[in-house]
Structure 1
Amino acid sequence: MASERVTLTVADPDGEREVALSSPNRAVWPDPPSGSGPITKAELAEYAQLVAEPFLAANGHRPVSLERFRDGIGSEGFFSKNPPKGTPDFVEAVTVTYNSGRRHPQIVLTRPSAIVWAVQMNTVVFHPWASLAAESDNPVELRIDLDPQPGTDFSAAIPAAHALREVLREAGLEAFIKTSGNRGLHVFAPIEPAHEFLVVRHAVIAAGRELERRMPDKVTMNWWKEERGERIFIDFNQANRDRTMAGAYSPRALPGATVSTPVEWDELDGLDPSRFTVRSIPQRLADVGDPWARMQENPGRIDVLLEWWERDLSDGLGELSFPPEFPKMPGEPPRVQPSKKVAANWDEDGNPVDD
């Protein structure tokens, strides 16, 4: 039996476009806490159109990975990076270089109809790169994920975010903030696309180390979970190439249908991120607008942060761990849990020593 199918008329900048939507009544969020029934695929497609302008300003014209769920958020999710077979011509792509050195086309969303197409492909979460498609090797924003660890919560990330904003201001950067849609906060600072990902990662590490010096009992740069304690983890590895986080105005695949939402700094204290949902964000945008609307107007430079990085190198603070899927990087510490590390099994460059 063929699935139900409807045709949506989507307003693009160059005119209206028809986009087919199959299974419009499928429950993407079967039981959201709003109490007004399931959020269907059709409702998600409507949300995509209502938030298209700020969504594209934050996530458009850049490589993006789509986190897809064929039968709603209770089903197993998977990621699409490359355009699947049959991708329509109004969905663009750009060839990017991954950390392995492999090059491959990756999806780029540039218009409302492309977002609705992604919903048709059962996308729930959108994960944009920090760089634009026109220059995909060089980020246009510095990103820092403040990730609460067990024993901490969202409220514990708020003072860390305020302190990080001051650190970045001292480095000549203006910070913007959004909820993660879960327990954490994402701090972004627009930058000129003058450096490739590894250099920007070093700038993030420098900022994180400075924040850690100021709040040693509240935040940590420790990559290994066993060393973090009840502190906010400054996730510096989100600055790597092809490492992404949920984009601004992207829903999350969580029971509450929460949305990763830009907020003003003066909204942060006492904020309840659970109230930002697929059903509430369109009205919020109508009432208060987009706090990130001017985000890219005055990008800064990371020169001061790179000076801090070099200073820390001179003081003996070197490279930090990379994610496990990355190739071994120069100067990287051993990829072994500290509690399991036997010093005699590793050389000074962090490489395992053969028996």
Structure 2
Amino acid sequence: MAKDAPLVLELDGFDVTVTHPGKVLFPDLGLTKRDLVEYFLAVAPGVLAGVDGRPMALRRFVKGTNDKPFYQKRAPEPRPEWIETVDFRYPSGGVASEIVVRDVAALIWVVNLNCVDLHPHAVRANDLAHPDELRIDLDPVPGVPWAMVRDVALMVREVLDDHGLVGFPKTSGSRGMHIYVRLAGTWTFTQVRTAGLALAREVARRAPDIATAEWWKEDRHGVFIDYNQNAKDRTTASAYSLRPTPDARVSAPLTWEEVPTCDPGDYTVHTVPGRFAAIGDPAAELDASPGPLDSLLALAKAQKAAGMKEPAPTRTKAPSRTGPPPAAGDAIRPTGRRQSRMPLVEIARAADVDTAMAGLDRWKARHPEVVKLLRPADVLVDSMRGRSSTWTRIRVNLQHVPEPLRPAQEPLESDYDPWEGVRRDQ
């Protein structure tokens, strides 16, 4: 079959080539790259407001959204001379020359790379040391209803109001919700993350039955307020990003009046362009609403004085490992984390989620009586960061299983090591 001819668009005075416009990126809907280009052109002002001037990590779905994406920090070569880049230094010490989007031409050039969702950093290219955005990520644990996410969002708004800050909510396009706050003044990444942690703990204090700021996944309940999205190496899907869901959902900005009744399934590639044309961008005033962090930082000091300790930092380098690799069936490698207070068994570590889930299914088949006692939140599926991509770890929390019935730790169903080779080089 002959390849479809490239599509050449004149945008912002530049010729932007869309290669293979007929390539299907959302197989369940039959959406092609051409369809994605048309979507992003329809909502371009809103998209650009969310990514303007920010270095961006690329998540490329080169085989479509039903397959694993490829993560790319460094701007690909070759590229047009009009594509802007900036050197972004990661906490690990690595430096990546990342793409900076400022106009429609650059936006569509990025979309042509099979980028379905856009992942900008919380800083602008002209000041990489000081984030101008506090990002609040509401992440429900498995089994939590969407209504609880909405309730926590409204509590976040109450706390922000009390500290002189204005939040702008949007659906994540997945299971949760994001709330962005524009910042006035120059704050370090450490200060912004500290403020995010203080806010998360205050929300959890006011709504302890539905919100949590617990660092360790097995200790969480309800909706986790993921303050670590404010760490220097983190990015989140920006406003109007498409998400790799079967119905092509959108990370859609909302008004606060919409939050109590919103349904994330209402915001898709098919509905959002019409919504944008009718009401504009609910986040249009974000840049015009900057606020200071002084009050949240004062709250953080008060929390520390009350005995609240700083959670463990995110690991950015390969975990240390002494001695030779374990033989099959021997002790499981450590992951660099503390000893959990919960009765956990680890099931699998795999390069992809399907392999890990297949291992979980085999474990369940061996322990049917245990499975009957588990709750949705007891199965912990972690997306872990490796060298250049994520991998999947699955554990099971046996807290709801009587101790005599708890199975012992068994050899992992899949024992993938993303750091193999790295340790030998260190």
Instruction: Give TM-score, length-normalised by structure 1.
Output: 0.88
Aligned pairs for 1:1-355 within 5 A = 3-12=3-12, 16-32=13-29, 38-229=30-221, 231-325=222-316, 335-339=338-342
SS of match in other structure, 2:261: coil
Contact 1:181 1:258 (C-alpha < 8 Å) held by counterparts: yes
Q: Hey, what's the Cα distance between the residues in 2 that align with 1:311 and 1:119?
A: 45
Q: Hey, what's the Cα distance between the residues in 2 that align with 1:55 and 1:301?
A: 25
Q: Hey, what's the Cα distance between the residues in 2 that align with 1:168 and 1:219?
A: 15
SS of match in other structure, 1:300: coil
Contact 1:10 1:49 (C-alpha < 8 Å) held by counterparts: no
Contact 2:7 2:21 (C-alpha < 8 Å) held by counterparts: no
Structure 1 residue 102 displacement after superposition: 2.3
For 1:108-153, what per-residue CA distance to the aligned partner results, in whole angstroms no more than 9, with x for missing partners?
1111111111121111111111111111221111111011111203
Q: Hey, what's the Cα distance between the residues in 2 that align with 1:217 and 1:117?
A: 45
Q: Hey, what's the Cα distance between the residues in 2 that align with 1:117 and 1:173?
A: 35
Structure 1 residues 216, 326: CA separation in 2 closer, same or farther (over 3 Å shift)? farther
Q: Hey, what's the Cα distance between the residues in 2 that align with 1:3 and 1:259?
A: 29
SS of match in other structure, 2:116: strand
Structure 1 residue 337 displacement after superposition: 3.1
Contact 1:179 1:185 (C-alpha < 8 Å) held by counterparts: yes
For 1:240-262, what per-residue CA distance to the aligned partner results, in whole angstroms no more than 9, with x for missing partners?
11211111000001111001010
SS of match in other structure, 1:8: strand
Q: Kindly, what percent of the aligned residue pairs are identical? A: 38
Q: Hey, what's the Cα distance between the residues in 2 that align with 1:166 and 1:327?
A: 40
Structure 2, unaligned stretches of length 5 or more?
Answer: 320-335, 345-426
Q: Which amino acid aligns with 1:30?
A: P
Structure 1 residue 163 displacement after superposition: 0.8
Structure 1 residues 281, 19: CA separation in 2 closer, same or farther (over 3 Å shift)? same
Structure 1 residue 327 displacement after superposition: 8.6
Structure 1 residue 334 displacement after superposition: 5.8
Q: Hey, what's the Cα distance between the residues in 1 that align with 2:318 and 2:339?
A: 15
Q: Hey, what's the Cα distance between the residues in 1 that align with 2:337 and 2:23?
A: 47
Contact 2:7 2:17 (C-alpha < 8 Å) held by counterparts: yes
SS of match in other structure, 1:66: strand
Q: Hey, what's the Cα distance between the residues in 1 that align with 2:300 and 2:142?
A: 29
Q: Which amino acid aligns with 2:228?
A: N
Structure 1, unaligned stretches of length 5 or more?
Answer: 33-37, 342-355
1:352 aligned partner: none
Matched residue count: 328
Q: Which amino acid aligns with 1:266?
A: E
Structure number with the bigger relative contact order (C-alpha 8 A, sep ≥ 6) is 1
Q: Which amino acid aligns with 1:227?
A: D
Structure 1 residue 67 displacement after superposition: 1.0
Structure 1 residue 292 displacement after superposition: 0.7
1:346 aligned partner: none
Structure 1 residue 6 displacement after superposition: 2.0
Q: Hey, what's the Cα distance between the residues in 2 that align with 1:337 and 1:115?
A: 44
Q: Which amino acid aligns with 1:93?
A: T
Contact 2:73 2:96 (C-alpha < 8 Å) held by counterparts: no
Contact 1:259 1:276 (C-alpha < 8 Å) held by counterparts: yes
Q: Which amino acid aligns with 1:19?
A: V
Q: Hey, what's the Cα distance between the residues in 2 that align with 1:315 and 1:326?
A: 32
SS of match in other structure, 2:109: helix
Q: Hey, what's the Cα distance between the residues in 1 that align with 2:195 and 2:116?
A: 31
Contact 2:159 2:203 (C-alpha < 8 Å) held by counterparts: yes
Structure 1 residue 324 displacement after superposition: 3.5
Q: Which amino acid aligns with 2:261?
A: G
Q: CA RMSD in A?
A: 1.9
Structure 1 residue 268 displacement after superposition: 1.0
Structure 1 residue 336 displacement after superposition: 4.2
SS of match in other structure, 1:5: coil
Q: Which amino acid aligns with 1:209?
A: R
Q: Kindly name which structure, 1 or 2, has the bigger radius of gyration based on alpha carbons.
A: 2
SS of match in other structure, 1:123: coil
Q: Hey, what's the Cα distance between the residues in 2 that align with 1:106 and 1:337?
A: 37
